[in-house]
Amino acid sequence: MNRRILVLLSVLMVAMLALTACPGSSSTPADSGSSDTASSGGDAASSGDAASTEGTKITAVMGSTIREGEQAAIDYCIEQTGLEVEVVNGPESATDRIAQYLQFFGAQSSDVDVLMIDVIWPGILAEHLIDLSPYVDNPDDYFQRIIQNNTVDGALVGIPWFTDAGLLYYRTDLLEKYGYDAPPTTWSELQEMATKIQEGERADNPDFWGFVWQGNAYEGLTCDALEWQVSNGGGEIVEADGTISINNEYAAAAFDQAAGWVDTISPPGVVSYQEEDARGVWQAGNAAFMRNWPYAYSLGNADDSAIKGNLAVVPLPKGDGPDARNADTLGGWQMAVSKYSEHPEAAGQFAACIAGKDAQKLLAIGDSKLPTIGSLYEDAEVLDKNPFFSQLFDVFNGGAVARPSTVTSDKYNEVSTIYFTEVNKVLTGAQTGQQAVESIESQLQDLLQ
Ligand code: GLC
């Protein structure tokens, strides 16, 4: 890339960031008590020299919407580190976010210091990130699977911040009303229950649907579709040893089954739904079941929710294939520091604090985000707000299914784009499941072999 384009790109990025900057969250350090706090939290930065970074201004790209728990964690870490932190909201869709990050890193801009990165991105972004291991006092406290996931060529390029797993949300009141004593354990059972509840509820509520999920052509569909195919014994797209396994009847059947939900138990618009679209329908009281991540739990139980107190979560259902199993996709976010930052020390301190135990606890209590530190699953305040954390601990600690991002590394984004594009075409009726698995296989062969 020539220099002029680079300069132009970085000007553009600065303009974009300025536009998305969230002035309400831009904060300055607390006046009092900030000088000796950088190392007092126990899990704030260990190598940080508070005196040298005190008052340094850094920019952090955080969630698309900063909710209660995240805001509390940010405020806490500003106080702990004595830094001035400008918070920028990143794009909501992971697919849009990686495009923005790549553009930004391509310009080697120093405008961003800290950024949250998806669990599938270490292999794609490692070359632009610093090694954060000197900032983490207690690496053994974290889920080791995620530490390994985030370690590239010996460097810890992201500190595990929160983990994620796809879950089935269901309406406890409606299951009872329609005579069911337990949530569905197979997709066929879910279809039956969703159909019956939808028929009944439509009498009073024409907007009611059985099941909402994420069908838009973006990273979220890769998560949903991987759950359908793994739960039906259809493999993991590209296996850990590099074998491209997608072309099989169980994966094809799983996609066809999901296509059958569109405009029957799921709204026709589900083929362009992302997480927040599904949550909108669900939380308004217009769906019996929803597939979503844990963040939707606290919001569903908030005072302004139509379904407060009437929801619960379980692992997603199994398929019918011979190797059918429960499958919940592993998601989650890490705190990373840009190699192009002019304040790597301050940025490292902030990243370590926000992904440290105290801040993770605030995030779990406020936003029902799953900690990456095992001991928080035994914390009474955390469990009081989120009883499902302990019930589903095995899913969250190692049981969830990873997308093939380690094996495909820096090619993962292309792998996922091929996959979600073809699966979305099955959902919209443009092709069959069998056509999709053949097409994905041949495109992956070209890309990976
Ligand atoms: C959630 C997950 C993330 C995933 C994304 C897809 O944010 O934590 O891993 O890529 O959803 O929409």
pLDDT tens, position by position, 179-221: 999 999 999 999 999 999 999 999 999 999 999 999 999 999 9
397, 323 Cβ separation under 8 angstroms? no
119 lines ligand 1 (CB under 6 A): yes
Query: How many angstroms is it from 416 CA to the middle of ligand 1?
Result: 12
Tell me the average pLDDT across 324-353.
Answer: 98
pLDDT tens, position by position, 10-51: 434 444 444 344 433 433 333 333 333 333 333 444 444 555
Q: By three-state DSSP, how is residue 213 classified?
A: coil
Residue 69, pLDDT score: 98
d(CA 38, CA 56): 13
Residue 50, pLDDT score: 55
Cβ neighbors of 351 (< 8 A, separation 6 or more) are: 114, 132, 135, 159, 335, 336, 337
Confidence band, pLDDT 50/70/90 cuts, at residue 369? very high
Q: How many residues are there in the chain?
A: 449
Query: How many angstroms is it from 333 CA to the middle of ligand 1?
Result: 8
Assign residue 332 a region: left if phi > 0, alpha if psi is -120 to 50, beta otherwise? left
400 lines ligand 1 (CB under 6 A): no
Q: Which H or E run contains 66?
A: none
Per-domain residue ranges of the chain: 3-165+331-398, 167-329+409-448
Residue 49, pLDDT score: 54
Residue 31, pLDDT score: 32
Confidence band, pLDDT 50/70/90 cuts, at residue 52? confident
| Atom nearest to 93 CA in ligand 1 | 12
Task: Single out the residue of 59, 115, 162 nearest to residue 336, CA to CA.
Answer: 115
pLDDT at 256 over 70: yes
Domain 3-165+331-398 shares a fold with domain 167-329+409-448: yes
223 lines ligand 1 (CB under 6 A): yes
Tell me the CA distances in angstroms from 24 to 89, 276, 442, one per residue in order.
11, 22, 48
Share of the chain above pLDDT 70, in %: 89
Tell me the average pLDDT across 112-125.
Answer: 98
pLDDT at 344 over 90: yes
Topology of the domain comprising 167-329+409-448 = D-Maltodextrin-Binding Protein; domain 2 (3.40.190)
Tell me the average pLDDT across 134-162.
Answer: 98
**Measured in Å, how far apart are the chain's first and last C-alpha atoms?**
27
Confidence band, pLDDT 50/70/90 cuts, at residue 328? very high
| Atom nearest to 275 CA in ligand 1 | 12
| Atom nearest to 214 CA in ligand 1 | 12
Give the pairing of strands 167-171 and 311-314: antiparallel
DSSP per-residue letters across 125-181: HGGGB---GGG-S-GGGB-HHHHHHTEETTEE--EEEEEEE-EEEEEHHHHHHTT-S
Tell me the average pLDDT across 426-441.
Answer: 98
Structure tokens at 255: 């996609």
Give the class (CATH, top level) of 3-165+331-398. alpha beta
Tell me the average pLDDT across 80-86.
Answer: 98
Tell me the average pLDDT across 413-434.
Answer: 98
Query: Taking CA 397 as the corner, what is the angle to CA 61 and CA 223, rounded to the nearest 5 degrees?
Result: 60
| Atom nearest to 222 CA in ligand 1 | 6
| Atom nearest to 293 CA in ligand 1 | 1
- Buried-state track 284-302, b at ≥16 Cβ within 10 A, e below 16: ebbbbbbbbbbbbbbbbbe
pLDDT at 5 over 70: no
Residue having the nearest C-alpha atom to atom 2 of ligand 1: 331
Task: Return the axis-axis angle of helices 219-231 and 412-427, rounded to nearest 10°.
Answer: 70
- Which amino acid would we find at residue 302? A
436, 425 Cβ separation under 8 angstroms? yes
Residue having the nearest C-alpha atom to atom 3 of ligand 1: 331
pLDDT at 389 over 80: yes
Q: pTM for this one?
A: 0.91
Residue 322, pLDDT score: 87
Residue having the nearest C-alpha atom to atom 1 of ligand 1: 331
Residue having the nearest C-alpha atom to atom 11 of ligand 1: 220
221 lines ligand 1 (CB under 6 A): no
Mean pLDDT of the chain: 91
Confidence band, pLDDT 50/70/90 cuts, at residue 363? very high
Query: How many angstroms is it from 114 CA to the middle of ligand 1?
Result: 19
> What are the start-end ranges of the H helices in 284-336?
295-300
